[in-house]
Structure formats: C-alpha cells, structure tokens
Amino acid sequence: MAIRVLMPKLSFIVTEGTIIEWLKAPGDQVDKGEPLLSIESEKATVDVESPGAGILGPDLAPVGTTVPVTTTIGYILEPGEEPPKLELGLDEADHAPAAGPGQPVEEVVAAAREEEKPPKRRIIASPSAKRLAREAGVDLAEIEGSGPQGRIVKQDVLAYVDSQSQVVEGKSVQVSPAARRLATSLGVDPGEVEGTGPGGRVMVDDVRQAAGQAHAQGDLAQTPERAAGPPSEHVALTSIQRISAERMAFSFQTAPHFYLSVQVNMSQAVAMREAFLPAVEAKTGVRLSFSDILVCAVGQALHEHPALNAAFEEDQLKRYREVNVCLAVDTPRGLTVPVFHQADQLSLAEIAGRRADIVEKAKNSQLTPDDLSGGTFTVSNLGMFGIDIFSAIINPPQAAILAVGRIAKRALVVDETLQVRPTMWMTLSVDHRVADGATAARFLHTLVQYLEDPYRMLV
C-alpha cells in the first residue's frame, strides 16, 4: 500500500512549506527515517525523513512548490505497485479573452472595464505568488504561470510587474493591460496618467479621464512630474524572512505589548561560569556560555510563575504544562528559534550540550521539526553584538519574550558603596492580555534572583 509523503507541520504556527530539494530521485529505494527532501518554512530549512521504506514514486511535487502543511507531496510504493495520482489541491483557471481593438470609444471603455473586473474563475497560484500579487495590485488572471500545470509562482508575478512598468524620465508606472490597450486606442501616453489603482496603478477609468481632459483642453493634459526616488533594487526574501516579518507584524498589531527592564548584577554568574567551565567541557565537549545560564534560569523562573508560560489564542488563555524555552539564533537564511524542551528539568551541562547541537544544526539548515516545535517562551540575546538594552517583539502565540543585552562592567551601588561590577540589562516584553504588570514583575524578580545567586538553580 502506498505511503503518503506529507508536507510536515514544524510547529503549531506553521501553515505552509516550500520544497527546496528532493534528496532522492523517483524510483530510488528509500528506508524509513532516511532523509528524503529539504523544505523551508518560516522557522528554518530542514530535512524531512522518509515515513516508510519502499520505492519513491514517479510523481513528486516539484522543487519550489509551496503547499499547506499536511499536503501530500509524493508517495512511497511497494515494488510493482501502481502509483496514485498526486493531487496538490491547487486552484485552476483559464485566461479570459481581452476586448478587441477598433471599436467606438465607449465600447472600448466598457470592454476594458469588464476586462479589469475580478475573473469569475479560479487561479492556479502558489501562496507566495498570491500574497505578492495582492501587495502589487496585480490580477493573477493576467499572468502566465511557469510552474507545473501552468501554476503561477512568485517569479512569474515579479516578471509580470517588471514587464508592466513603463519608465518615464526615471519614474516607474504600473499600467493594467486593459488600460494600456485603451490608452493606445485613444492616443494617451499611460506614463503621463495619474493612477488611482493599488500602488498608483493606472486603470481604465484613469485613462478615460485623462483622455477627456486632453480633448477638453484641445491637447493631451500632462500630469506634474513626480520626483524620482533614489536608485534601488528589489531583494527577494527567504521564506523564513517573509513569514517571520508577517508574524512579527501580526504580533505587534494584535498583542498589547508592555515592557519591564531591570539591570542584573552578574558577578556571581560570571564566577560560577568560570568555576564550572572545566567540568562542563569535560562532560559535554562544549564550553558553558551565559546563554546556557540564562536558559536554565528562565526555565526555573517559569516553573515558579506559570502565568508567563502561556499563550493567548482565539480569545482564550492557554497555560502550557511543559516549560519549553526557545533561544533565538541568527543564521544565514534569517532568524530561527530552536527549542529547549522541558528546560526547567535540564542541568547546566545538558543545556550546554543541547545549545551547541541546535546552534550548529540551525546554521547548517539541519534542524528537525522536533527541534522547532512546542516553544512556550523565547529568549533573544544580542549581547554578543555589543547591544546594552533593547525591546523584542513577542513570538506569537507566546505570552512573553526576554531581550538580553551584553554583560559589561558598570558602576553599581553595592552595600552603600559605588563599585564597578559586571552587569546585564534585561527587558521583558509581555502580552497584556495574558498577564498584568505585577504578575510579570514577580516573574522578573525571581529571574533576577536566580541570576544574581545562580547556585540556587543547582539545588
């Protein structure tokens, strides 16, 4: 019986993935658990393991395809088994006919307006192509797809937008095909027409109005020149960057953030790290870092204050039963947040070993779905970049994120005297729907106690 290969759901917030590479070819023998393909989501680029043993079927979702999670993208077959037909569940459509030339003006205008109306049909397009078309104010029915079965992909939209741009003295003008044909019929230069469509796009009514003004004045009216912008280029976002941007914008727009900042005396934490370095390195082969101490302390504090180990989803408050701390990691493809599962139950040595493993996997795009799923709280540490203090945007649907700056020697009042001590600034961003200021302050107070007296974490 054929075994379905599914687009995996890397976490509860992932909705789609893009196929980057098939690691096996159709007809190859595969074993269960063997890396089968690489995919990219908003979290990371990961290898997907084969769900079973057998022969990889001939019909696979093409490289570059973006589909929702749990979509079947291929099959693993038994020898001699007839392969099922691969159905990606994508929308289908044909192109509508355009209005013909050589008609009276009013007929041409009416036909052009009809052409600009949303088509009464469905379109084959990837999610990223649909988003880009919506942002650019482009009708997907106007675009020829280069993907499988004529599917429109993001590159098709970009190419179409470029092809529809008319450059007039350094000014790029977007013109709908119907408006362009009408402008040709009426003798109007679309580059001199002010567009009222999405993104300043020139539409049919814009051309008609410009033509009417020109005839009323006895000459074609010209709109004032718009100042040309500075030289620029479009840079394509990776899936991680694009979806991360969407999620951060959603978080900042929907979650009422508030912030609490505190300076921590890290003298004891610095001393403990120096004392534990040889033992942890001998046990794990990696050096104990301050990020490890932070993850350990955050795990302990969340265990004592479960109100921050929560989420706000669909107008309901959710309290997590596990303390799974995410650590934001910078990678060449963008920011990703691997997870320390049950961080409140891990020793410093276990956290150090886990941290070294996931950071290396993140930088090499080798994180697994398990590495990325189930996070309940996030730590973002920019201290290594020399940042003193900053505020972070909550990683939805989590309730809070801790922004951590560098450890530096600063003046501090200790026992009524001014002394120079290693200190660190932390800023806690909290979703006010989940916790109030007093609840968040109690969590932060406990976290400071663990960092200023870190040996408490070992008891």
Active-site residues, by number, are 432, 436
Question: For residue 237, is it left (φ>0), alpha (ψ between -120 and 50) or beta?
Answer: beta
**Which residue(s) pair with 21 in the sheet?**
38
Q: Which of 305, 325, 273, 243 is nearest to 447 (CA)?
A: 305
Q: Which of 23, 26, 43, 44 is nearest to 34 (CA)?
A: 23
> Do 331 and 44 meet the contact criterion of CB atoms below 8 Å apart?
yes
- Half-sphere exposure of 261 toward its Cβ, with a 13 Å CA cutoff? 10
Tell me how far apart the alpha carbons of residues 449 and 440 are, in angstroms, rounded to a whole number.
14
SS3 annotation, 224-239: CCCCCCCCCCCCCCCH
3-class DSSP state of 352 = helix
Tell me how far apart the alpha carbons of residues 244 and 249 are, in angstroms, rounded to a whole number.
8
Q: How far apart are the first and last CA of the chain?
A: 54
Paired sense of beta strands 72-77 and 45-49, if any: unpaired
